[in-house]
Amino acid sequence: MFSKYAGGISLITITSNQYRLAPMYHFPVQFEDVYTIVKFFLQNSVLAQYGVDPNRICISGDSAGGNLAAAVAQQVNDLEVKVKLKIQALLYPALQTLDLDLPSYKDNENKPILPKSLMVRFWSEYFTTDVSLQEAMASNSHVPAESSHLFRFVNWSNLLPEKFKKDHVYASPIYGSSRLGKKYPGFLDPRAAPLLVDDTKLLGLPVTYVLTCQHDVLRDDGIMYVSRLREVGIEVIHDHIEDAIHGALMFITSPTDLALGHRVANKYIEWLNINL
């Protein structure tokens, strides 16, 4: 779908990473697939082969792709990767597994495309087909007490602007079984949940674009990431679409060719055109 709009950006090379999917394959397979490809691509010899300017590299993704883009951007920010990303663009990304009872999850619990029950299922199947994890996630009681320190990274009472808190009241976490955390540690891993990294891991990130949708359970994931990036001094542009639902970018082709989809796509492409 992105290629439909790519004509608006001059001299652009697009690579699309194919990775193995859940529930047939579980984390960290997906992350490792994408990380391996990106790390390979970020070599001067490979970039030269495809005619890519090493000073103009963007990593981007939407929804689950936004999750992987954010995670990979954090992990390639190390000394062994010589070519650095210029920008990253994250569209309604899934960024955390700890609190599945955020205001956005409550406000949009039964909204179309991605209701809370489906997002919980997607998260749990990313790690296992064991329904006990899905059941614990559904009740937001899956994080063991020994991982309580991680909640500071997703404390929406500190990270969300007032307009998104509405009348919601922050409640202390309900801790779950240590067994789940030990058996499926992936849901506590920042490579699966990029919001869980320490601030030091955010410091070297590139200029960032985040697009969020009001009627989306993942809305607050993106907004909290914007807050955390800004707190450590990363330049961030945040586009929030008040009348959009999750997956808005897919509404640009028949039979769901909608003005909303084109508006979202145009915002994204406009930012890329200016910043890439």
* Residues known to be catalytic: 63
What is the C-alpha separation between 133 and 227, in angstroms, rounded? 29
DSSP string, 4-48: HHGGGSSS----------TTTS-TTHHHHHHHHHHHHHSSHHHHH
- Copy the structure tokens of residue 163: 């307009």
Q: How far apart are CA 216 and CA 26, in angstroms?
A: 25
Q: Give CA 87 to chain center in angstroms.
A: 15
Q: Which residues contact residue 175 at a Cβ distance below 8 angstroms, ignoring those fewer than 6 apart?
A: 141, 143, 144, 145, 148
Phi-psi bin for 111: left (phi > 0), alpha (psi -120 to 50), beta? beta
